[in-house]
Amino acid sequence: MTERRDPDALIRRAGRGNPDFDQHFLVDDRVLDRIPTYAESFDRSHVLEIGPGPGALTERLLDVADRVTAVERDPALAAHLREEFADAVADGTLTVVEGDALDVEFPDYTCCISNLPYSASSELAFRLLPDAKPTVLMFQREFAERMAASVDDDAYGRLSVSAQHYADVEVVEEIPKEAFDPQPRVRSAVVRTTPRDPDYEVDDEAFFLDFVKALFTQRRKTVRNAIRNTAHISGLDDPEAVVAAADEDLLRKRPGNLAPATFAELAALAAEHGDPA
């Protein structure tokens, strides 16, 4: 293995982060070295990296992957990456795609390892999760904890149910803000997702996710009232018919007490009786 580039020197060559692009560059060598190890059990033959910045993590991914595709929104950083890693670009092991990761077409990657921009965490997570590819992703710690939360945890909510619909989710490391330059205002965490089919059946995934979203907007209400109050979100034409068909014990609970499988059962009941649009 060749000597590592210094992350601070990479930033100097690339230029300071653009605050409009929510750029906080990871500069702690120990953290950078650990991140690819969380994907050791995954197929790392073609790694997708979103938001590579000056390339400190990119360099480490090139050491463990056959190919890396790096999607960078900032034109100046994309140009820097092509120059800094010109040899890897030339031999085809690195492809730099300039564009917004919410819009560009992804290649047929095998896993995604990224320090994501926190302002787009939710949108990017739910672009990646339906691909059913394993990921190792950096998020704001609060967001990461919500993704991995279990039923009845204070952090359990729509994000927990939606993310765990697609994968097993685990927080594998918490990262202090001092590991970044410039430092974010919050602590961060690395999340590993391992795709798997849910242990319940969902006939209409879009309706299921909208139904979960709807009920969690009323998380402090009973399920009975949440169904009644959120028809404009879930798309139900007849929420009263759903309430009439549901189990009374279930209706007394709150959304935060419902496991994903219970949400699936209730969504199926709502689809059957509520005439969703």
Q: Is 24 annotated as a binding residue?
A: yes
pLDDT, one tens digit per residue, over 204-238 is 999 999 999 999 999 999 999 999 999 999 999 99
* Bond preceding residue 130 cis, omega within 30 of 0: no
Query: Domains in the chain, please, with CATH?
Result: 7-195 (3.40.50.150), 205-273 (1.10.8)
DSSP helix/strand/coil, 271:
helix
Q: Is 100 annotated as a binding residue?
A: yes
Q: Is 80 annotated as a binding residue?
A: no
Helix (H) or strand (E) holding 205: helix 205-216
- The whole-number average pLDDT for the span 229-250 is 95
Q: Is 115 annotated as a binding residue?
A: yes
- As a whole number of angstroms, the longest Cα–Cα distance in the chain is 67
Residue 1: pLDDT over 60: no
- The whole-number average pLDDT for the span 64-81 is 96
- The whole-number average pLDDT for the span 39-54 is 97
Q: Is 40 annotated as a binding residue?
A: no
pLDDT above 70 as % of the chain: 96
pLDDT band for position 182 (50/70/90)? confident
The whole-angstrom separation of Cα 89 and Cα 267 is 48
pLDDT, one tens digit per residue, over 96-153 is 999 999 999 999 999 999 999 888 999 999 999 999 999 999 999 999 999 999 998 9
Residue 18: pLDDT over 70: no
Q: Is 51 annotated as a binding residue?
A: yes
Q: Which amino acid is at 49?
A: E
- 269 HSE (CA, 13 A, CB side): 18
